[in-house]
């Protein structure tokens, strides 16, 4: 969690993205909406 030293929201998005990559029915459906969040500046 040291790489994500920007905003507390970024960390939540990153964790959510990781969960979306997992083989899950709920994550797979949300992965589509998460793609928009992935476009955010994560650097």
Please write the tens of the pLDDT for every residue from 23-43. Answer: 555 555 555 555 555 555 554
For 28, the token pair is: 């797979």
Domain boundaries, the chain: 8-38
Q: What count of other Cβ atoms lies within 10 Å of the Cβ of residue 33?
A: 9
Residue 19 binned pLDDT confidence (cut-offs 50, 70, 90): confident
Query: Taking the complete model, does pTM exceed 0.75, yes or no?
Result: no
DSSP helix/strand/coil, 37: helix
């Amino acid at each position: 969690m040291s790489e994500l030293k920007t905003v507390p929201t970024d960390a939540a998005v990153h964790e959510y993205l990781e969960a979306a990559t997992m083989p899950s029915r709920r994550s797979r459906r949300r992965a589509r909406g998460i793609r928009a969040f992935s476009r955010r500046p994560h650097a």
